[in-house]
Amino acid sequence: MTRRQTSGVLPCGAPAGLRERRKQRTREALLHAALDLFAAQGYERTTVDEIVEAVEVSQRTFFRYFANKEAVAFAVQESVETRFLTELRRRPAAEPPFEAMRRAALHAWDSMAEAAEGDVTGELQARTYRMIESTPALLAAHLRRSVDLEFQVSQVIAEREGLDPEADPRPRVAVAAFSGVMRLAGQLWGRRQDAGVDALRQLTEHHLDHLGPALSGNWRAA
Amino acid sequence: MTRRQTSGVLPCGAPAGLRERRKQRTREALLHAALDLFAAQGYERTTVDEIVEAVEVSQRTFFRYFANKEAVAFAVQESVETRFLTELRRRPAAEPPFEAMRRAALHAWDSMAEAAEGDVTGELQARTYRMIESTPALLAAHLRRSVDLEFQVSQVIAEREGLDPEADPRPRVAVAAFSGVMRLAGQLWGRRQDAGVDALRQLTEHHLDHLGPALSGNWRAA
DNA sequence: GAGATTAGTGTCAGCCACTGACAGTTAACA
DNA sequence: TGTTAACTGTCAGTGGCTGACACTAATCTC
């Protein structure tokens, strides 16, 4: 019961005991080997056996570090989400909710590239994101994860605005609409060749700007 | 190459040859047995072997009718989506896009219960929907399917408005926001006890009504 | 510092979803 | 009525994933 797990998120310094460090190394080795193999030959065509062979551990060990094959692909994504949530909680209370989400998202994208988490380069991150978008099984998992995130975000928004998230539908509606648009931006980004973080930033802003107008009546008048 | 498959959607009369009818019956038997078993003991705890035992066919046959175990669970959902798209195409061109989507959705929900597709009762449909929402693997698949549907919808909307769907982001943005809210309504519906179609209708309208206001500035003023 | 404790790992055996190959059966059609 | 092609079953195999159990080595205790 005295498990002081490394909190799911990627490493953050703090060199602990020898055992702990060894674990960290194994985990990173698995993550790295997996992402490399995925990038080289695709997610579906990479077997867990290949990954564990590269790291020279047993298959059983792989499944002790990652709940399933999918989980490896989302290790990085997870840290981006954490950054988003952290930034969202930090936004000034005076900021309207939609604006706060927008800024938090842009902040998360920006910080993604700079901090090469667990020795994973920004380039590899981008490639992983594109792989997720283009692999049906991963896309499905990605969307399911988004649902969980949306729930947390709507809780934060409700709290910011001092509302009861159960009773008032606005936080959830706003988050649903927002994340719908965010996903669209990510999707389009994935199809590009010039897949820098800048392009993603731009796409995000561009599409969020169209949300308000898109809801109102006659587009032909615009 | 002369496959005149029954179009994916559930049967629509037209008694063809003996062979065709036998196929139809096998498919429906598998569908029915599967949904019953899913409802009785849950999706995950039902094996394909159990399903094929109930119908007395080989496992191989099951996989010739359904691409995978998930596909059975979505057989009904698929017909709802078809109804939605059909109705959307039918909406008068004068109607603003958001209004057209809203009406088409309500129409699809309504027609869902009345026509007990392929001998699947409305009650079983509702239970299946709730099962999808509460089973992680199915939820993931559901969301992925939604993405495909969203794409089609945005094509229709763009066409209605005479826009280039590639260049103008408004159709996709509108659809993304709309379907985000629709999913939210479905999600909340699934958590209810009084899971009639009426409740779903009501939830849908209620949340769509909040979309506009939720986007604009200060909620505390509302 | 020796021994008890326990976290981390490997091995093995097995379940389940899913697939390819091939052969048998039977409706459809000439 | 025989040929063709569709549908199905059987079999063998792959890949993701899990439980049980034993072993090794880091950590703790005295």
Using CB atoms, which residue from A143, A161, A181 is nearest to B173?
Answer: A181
This prediction has a pTM of: 0.83
| Gap from B69 CA to chain A (nearest CA, Å) | 14
Tell me: pLDDT of A88 over 90: yes
Closest CA to A77 of A112, A36, A27, A26: A112
The domain total for chain B is 2
Closest CA to B178 of B77, B97, B108, B112: B97
Domain that holds residue B152: 74-221
State whether residue B181 sits within 8 Å of chain A by CB. Answer: yes
Identity of residue B211: L
Check if residue B28 sits with its Cβ under 7 angstroms from strand C. no
Check whether residue A193 and residue A207 sit in a common domain: yes
Check if residue A45 sits with its Cβ under 7 angstroms from strand C. no
Tens digits of pLDDT across chain B (222 residues): 333 333 333 444 445 677 788 899 999 999 999 999 999 999 999 999 999 999 999 999 999 999 999 999 998 888 889 899 999 999 999 998 888 999 999 898 888 766 555 555 667 777 888 899 889 999 999 999 998 999 999 999 999 989 998 888 788 878 888 888 888 888 888 777 766 778 888 888 888 888 777 666 566 654
Check whether residue B59 and residue B79 sit in a common domain: no
- How many alpha carbons lie under 13 Å from residue B139 in its C-beta half-sphere? 19
**Inter-residue contact A52 to A61 (CB < 8 Å):** yes
Check whether residue A37 and residue A96 sit in a common domain: no
Check if residue A3 sits with its Cβ under 7 angstroms from strand D. no
pLDDT of residue B53: 94
Chain C bases closer than 7 A to any CB of the protein: 7-12, 15-21, 27-29
Which pair of tokens denotes residue A106? Answer: 């842009």
CATH code of residue A45: 1.10.10.60
- How many alpha carbons lie under 13 Å from residue A37 in its C-beta half-sphere? 22
The CA distance from A16 to A13, in Å, is: 9
Q: Which residues of A touch B140 (CB under 8 A)?
A: 140-141, 143-144
pLDDT digits (tens, 9 = 90+) for A38-75: 999 999 999 999 999 999 999 999 999 999 999 999 98
Among A48, A68, A88, residue at a domain's last position: A68
**Inter-residue contact A35 to A128 (CB < 8 Å):** yes
**Inter-residue contact A106 to A201 (CB < 8 Å):** yes
Q: Which nucleotide is nearest to A44 (CA to C1')?
A: D15
Angle between helices A170-191 and A136-160 (to 10 degrees): 140
Q: Would you call B176 and A180 a contact, using CB atoms and an 8 Å cutoff?
A: yes
Check whether residue A40 and residue A87 sit in a common domain: no
Confidence of residue A167 (pLDDT cuts 50, 70, 90): confident
Q: Any idea what DSSP says for residue B193? A: S
Which pair of tokens denotes residue A179? Answer: 């994340």
pLDDT of residue A7: 36
pLDDT digits (tens, 9 = 90+) for A196-211: 778 888 888 888 888 7
Q: Would you call B180 and A180 a contact, using CB atoms and an 8 Å cutoff?
A: yes
Check whether residue B58 and residue B25 sit in a common domain: yes
Check if residue A21 sits with its Cβ under 7 angstroms from strand C. no
pLDDT of residue A14: 45
Check if residue A146 sits with its Cβ under 7 angstroms from strand D. no
Helix, strand and coil content of chain B, in percent to the nearest 5, comes to 75, 0, 25
Q: How many helices (H) and strands (E) does chain A have?
A: 11, 0
Q: Which residues of B touch A177 (CB under 8 A)?
A: 176-177, 180-181, 211, 214-215
Distances (CA, A) of A157 to A27, A88, A166, A172: 34, 9, 12, 9
Check whether residue B214 and residue B145 sit in a common domain: yes
Check whether residue B85 and residue B164 sit in a common domain: yes
